[in-house]
Chain A
Amino acid sequence: MSTIRRKLTRLSVVSDRIGDRDAAPYLLVGPALVTVFLVTIGPMLWSLWLSFNRWKPGSLAHQEPTLNGVDNYEWLFSNDRFIDSVVNFAFYGGVGVFLQVALGTLLALALYNYVESRTLRIGLLTLFIVPMMYAPLVAGRMWQLLFLPGGGVVNGLLGVVGLPTVNWLGTRWLGLTAIMISDTWQWVGLPLLIVYGGRANLSDSLYEAAKVDGASRWMMFRRITLPQLRNLIIVAAILRFMDAYKFFDKLFIMTYGGPGTATELPTFFTYLVGFQEFNVGRAAALTWVLGLGSVLTMLLFWRYMRTVEAS
């Protein structure tokens, strides 16, 4: 009897310990939140204020930030270079993400369905994700070598097949395409992993029932696999699309936005305005327009991530 009572009092201690009126949760979360505030949120709020100022720290005329209303934003939206970089972003983000997600999905399903040997399956999976371990900058340098107009392997192969060779990094759309190919090589593993994991979690009974009904492979793909994996595929696409807002390293090393300003993406343009011209107010306005875009994408991500986590 007394042991039971002892256990019961201990149990009530337990419920106090994991109760809500308790300092521990805040002590545990506090340091992380404060750090994120100091290195991310705080500085970005300051940059929001800067975006309504004219500030060129390098020049004599505008050494101190001076308020200039929405001038920076007006400049931005009437700037052809910015508009061009947004068009490039739409192409790079739209086509690139579609390519990566489509390829990743097909590879994942082919790997799961048609490679029987487990060792081979894991081996291929590993091979497909090793490129993610490259520094993006290093991967860009590597692909620049492959795309060289003269001695590059890509043009070499085109020549062997009898196709005309092209100056890959020398024009706007070819340059963006070349960057997109190198980025696909590096990141196809991410959608692949997500879809592969999702497919492995689908129960076989769905497919067995369909087989009994005489469904073809195509039917099963269209009616079972795709609908079941839909949300996961969307999450993979959004994750890759969010990286398009950050895209910098490969562009920096492969074309430096060139020829001229032809292949600039918004992030790279911001870098040039901020750290080459030191027009900090304008660069801050740019980062906020970019940031708003990525916030909208994030809200989408959250929506789908919840459905995925719930299932």
Chain B
Amino acid sequence: MNELGFPILSLMLAVPMAAAVACLFVSANAARWIALLATLVDLALGIVLWMNFDIGGAQWQFVEKAALFDRFSWALGIDGIALMLIMLSVFLMPICIGASWEAIQTRVGEYMAAFLLMEVLMIGVFAAQDIYLFYIFFEAGLIPMYLIIGIWGGANRIYASYKFFLYTLLGSVLMLIAMFWMVNEAGTSDIPTLMAYDFPVEAQAWLWLAFFASFAVKMPMWPVHTWLPDAHVQAPTAGSVILAGVLLKMGGYGFIRFSLPMFPAASVDYLWLVFALSMVAVVYTSLIALVQSDMKKLIAYSSVAHMAIVTVGLFAFNRQGLEGALVVMLSHGLVSGALFLCVGVIYDRLHTREIDRYGGLSINMPRYALLFLLFTMASIGLPGTSGFVGEFLSLVGVYEVSSWAAIVCTTGIILGAAYMLYLYRRVAYGVIKSDDVAAMPDLNKREIALLLPIALVVLWMGVYPESFMAPMRKDVGALEARLASVKPAGDAQVKMGKAPALTPAAHAEEGHH
């Protein structure tokens, strides 16, 4: 079986699945408790998983395989990258349930069932070791998310839910055709085998584009990002947390699991495309974020900018870039989730996301202002928070490949500081403008219990990122080795400076340059 003697990954899928079914048949309050309990059990299982993960051991651990279906099998297993993303999912889920505790009052059972189903599918995406099983988990997330946005969303929820569904569906279907071709060619649907398979170079370009269509929409990359602000603004708070926290990471995970190792030659050929789109995204969406009047929209656009840093980092083809991109993914999952929760906290009190309606919250909500400040700083990438580690590493990695990309993407950090600080100033500083804002109470215990764990992890990741990077190191190394043969030369060859030497031989060598 595996290291633990029981199928822990299947269990992590079964617990929320069973709870989801149970939630449909019980009262609202019971559904809340069942959902919270199930997500906490999954979190506990996730911790067991992490504790037992053998860092530096076999690449694929906790492997399970059962030939349950025709043409594809129930194959699960994780490497360090999947482990960290699963941890992110199971960590955010109880927080999402907690965030919906009071905000959701209609159809609670169905709501909790949809969220638990999302958890099943998210863990499934990261744990699947069969390419078709991956596709099923990847696509199935559309249905619960469509319902979450459409039923419990804001005023313009129907437009947003359609846009979300059809955009992501259109992106993914071509990937399925590419998968058929790959499985026919390689004769297996096993992901680890496919990762080592050398597809013909001329086919790689097409396959890469088909996968790119899917992951670029999911990520989302400019110019196919437009579904994201709509979906975020209309989704309920917890829906936004899951969307920004985990669903966007599926795109990055797809690049690192499929596009890069399976089509290395095409990845280099289309480097210009990824870099160009990411560079546009960083600057363009940051500028858009600067002029937003809706808080959620601002954070949504900042997500697009952060995800662009992930894509450039991934396509840097070196260790710093890859590790940096992964840390940005984890960090952004926590920070943007927390920022959406912060928006949710004040939205629950005043029922508006208009930035202009607020002001001076640090006067009557000091605890809120403190936590909001921490997450704002983490989003900017202040040293000591998780954001810094990831962005620094990514940009170092990118600099080795293309100094222009690095320069343009670094402006994103400056612009990021601009729009986040501007947001914070308008919401938390200044004077209180109206009575209803003045009447807003500070965070209650439930809200502190939601935000504090994220704050602690953000600081942990900022101060000692080794805990999070150690499990992924070997996998990043394996990917780097896979990409070594096609690695682009880059335009910034960093060399160790030489001390001035006095020997004539050294001078002669100097002259050859």
Same complex origin of A and B: no
Give residues in B with beta carbon < 8 Å to A: none
Q: Which residues of A contact B (CB under 8 A)?
A: none
